[in-house]
């Protein structure tokens, strides 16, 4: 029987969420990490644990069939891979930053400057797109200290909350790319492996969907039901059931997390009572 081989980060910012996503997708992994390879118990899947920087190459070579890695690494490495799904975690941006006391007039400020980064390819593309000539200085870590020690005039680095920049006396002036964890796959998977990947993707999507949505139950006077139904249309249409108390009904539906508070406020204004909001474990539509 054919198996799918997926590469995930061995340790670091992507590790926990990658494992959680696989577990929530019903893939049981043996406990204990530190190994290079784990065999899933109830899905034809092997998991390879690698440094994130190596994942695009391994997937491109076919050593792994698929991988979970930051989009920033995929773009930087430049291998031709199939981007299967954006996974919504490890969100960050690759941004240009300069010392905070300098007036920034626009990308042209960078002309003739020295810019330190661990992402030389993304930086070169940014410079070319903005028609800027600058010196690219590649360093492998602690990029944020480069301006402070006189090594560079600016940096291109990963920013998430922005606090690392602030504590190094820098300010973010432009975003080169935005990134999040992505599921990528080899371009030439055979039919059997592709079928397995689709099966895994189906599960991943069900997990993702359930995370974005909540199950909602509420009680409301019957005359308000038509308006309430418009506010929470649900997957197909909400379930409406009469309560034992005459003139009242219970409404059950599915609610998108993004609109959560806005919708709750509307429901309260419409006279809804006893609103319960419950997490959904899996959602298949
Ligand atoms: O050992 P290995 O090579 O596998 O791991 P790594 O050390 O290279 O990567 P790791 O685990 O630090 O990050 C993995 C991926 O997480 C990155 O490639 C990004 O896709 C994503 N990610 C999301 C981040 C951040 N957020 C992040 N904040 N990666 C790094 N940072 C660092 C950044 O380098 C900077 O130093 O955090 C600092 C900035 O954070 P703020 O919150 O202060 O702005
Ligand atoms: Zn790395």
Domains of the chain by start residue, with CATH: 4-87+181-189 (3.40.190.10), 92-179 (3.40.190.10), 213-279 (3.30.70.120)
- Cα 208 to Cα 64: distance, rounded to the nearest angstrom: 23
- Rounded to an integer, what is the distance from CA 86 to the centroid of its chain? 6
Q: What pLDDT does residue 2 have?
A: 86
Whether 34 has a pLDDT exceeding 70, the answer reads no
Residue of 12, 88, 118 best suited for mutating to test ligand 1, as the one with most atoms within 8 Å of CB: 12
Q: How many CB atoms lie within 10 A of CB 20?
A: 12
What the block records as the tokens of 58 is 């391994």
Q: How far is the CA of 160 from the centre of ligand 1 (A)?
A: 8
Instruction: Name the closest ligand to CA 15.
Output: 1
Q: How far is the CA of 184 from the centre of ligand 2 (A)?
A: 17
Whether 32 has a pLDDT exceeding 80, the answer reads no
Q: How far is the CA of 196 from the centre of ligand 1 (A)?
A: 30
What the block records as the tokens of 5 is 């081989």
Instruction: Name the closest ligand to CA 50.
Output: 1
Are 147 and 137 spatial neighbours (Cβ–Cβ below 8 Å)? no
* Ligand 1 pocket residues where CB is under 6 Å: 9, 12-14, 51-53, 70, 72-73, 90, 92, 157-164, 179
In this prediction, residue 178 has a pLDDT band, given cuts at 50, 70 and 90, of very high
CB crowding 225-238: b at 16 or more within 10 Å, else e: beebbebbebeeeb
Quick: pLDDT tens for 136-155: 999 999 999 999 999 999 99
Q: What is the pTM of this model?
A: 0.91
119: Cα within 13 Å, side-chain hemisphere: 24
Q: How far is the CA of 60 from the centre of ligand 1 (A)?
A: 22
* Averaged pLDDT, 242-258: 94
Helix (H/G/I), strand (E/B), else coil: 163:
helix
- Cα 58 to Cα 54: distance, rounded to the nearest angstrom: 6
Q: How many CB atoms lie within 10 A of CB 80?
A: 8
Which protein residue's CA is at the shortest distance from atom 13 of ligand 1?
13
- Cα 269 to Cα 267: distance, rounded to the nearest angstrom: 5
Helix (H) or strand (E) holding 267: helix 260-269
Which protein residue's CA is at the shortest distance from atom 8 of ligand 1?
52
Of ligand 1's listed atoms, the one at least distance from the Cα of 9 is 4
Are 95 and 157 spatial neighbours (Cβ–Cβ below 8 Å)? yes
Helix (H/G/I), strand (E/B), else coil: 52:
helix
Q: How far is the CA of 30 from the centre of ligand 1 (A)?
A: 26
What the block records as the tokens of 135 is 């010196």
Give the residue carrying structure tokens 């291109």: 156
Quick: pLDDT tens for 95-140: 999 999 999 999 999 999 999 999 999 999 999 999 999 999 999 9
Q: Please provide residue 76's backbone torsions phi and psi, each rounded to the nearest 5 degrees.
A: -65, -45
- Cα 263 to Cα 266: distance, rounded to the nearest angstrom: 5
Instruction: Name the closest ligand to CA 163.
Output: 1
- Cα 78 to Cα 97: distance, rounded to the nearest angstrom: 24
Q: How far is the CA of 9 from the centre of ligand 2 (A)?
A: 9
Are 38 and 60 spatial neighbours (Cβ–Cβ below 8 Å)? no
Whether 40 has a pLDDT exceeding 80, the answer reads yes
Of ligand 1's listed atoms, the one at least distance from the Cα of 72 is 20
Which residues are paired to 184 by β-bridges? 67, 83
């Amino acid at each position: 029987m054919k198996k799918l081989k997926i590469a995930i980060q061995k340790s670091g910012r992507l590790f926990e969420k990658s494992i959680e996503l696989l577990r929530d997708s019903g893939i049981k992994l043996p406990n204990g990490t530190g190994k290079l390879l784990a065999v899933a118990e109830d899905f034809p899947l092997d998991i390879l644990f690698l440094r994130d920087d190596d994942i695009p190459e391994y997937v491109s070579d076919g050593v792994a069939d698929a991988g979970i890695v930051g989009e920033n690494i995929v773009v930087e490495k430049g291998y031709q891979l199939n981007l299967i799904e954006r996974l919504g975690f490890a969100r960050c941006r690759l941004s240009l930053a300069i010392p905070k006391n300098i007036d920034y007039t626009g990308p042209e400020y960078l002309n003739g400057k020295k810019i330190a980064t661990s992402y030389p390819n993304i930086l070169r593309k940014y410079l070319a797109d903005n028609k800027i000539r600058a010196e690219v200085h590649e360093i492998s870590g602690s990029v944020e200290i480069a301006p402070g020690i006189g090594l560079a005039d600016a940096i291109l680095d990963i920013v998430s909350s922005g606090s690392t920049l602030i504590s190094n006396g820098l300010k973010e002036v432009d975003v080169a790319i935005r990134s999040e964890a992505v599921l990528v796959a080899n371009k030439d998977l055979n039919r059997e492996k592709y079928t397995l990947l689709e099966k895994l993707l189906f599960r991943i999507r069900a997990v993702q969907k359930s995370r974005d949505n909540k199950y909602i139950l509420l009680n409301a006077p019957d005359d308000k039901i038509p308006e309430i139904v418009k506010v929470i249309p649900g997957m197909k249409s909400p379930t409406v059931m009469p309560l034992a108390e005459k003139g009242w009904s219970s409404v059950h539906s599915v609610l998108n997390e993004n609109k959560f508070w806005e919708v709750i406020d509307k429901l309260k204004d419409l006279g809804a009572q006893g609103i319960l909001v419950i997490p959904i474990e899996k959602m298949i539509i």
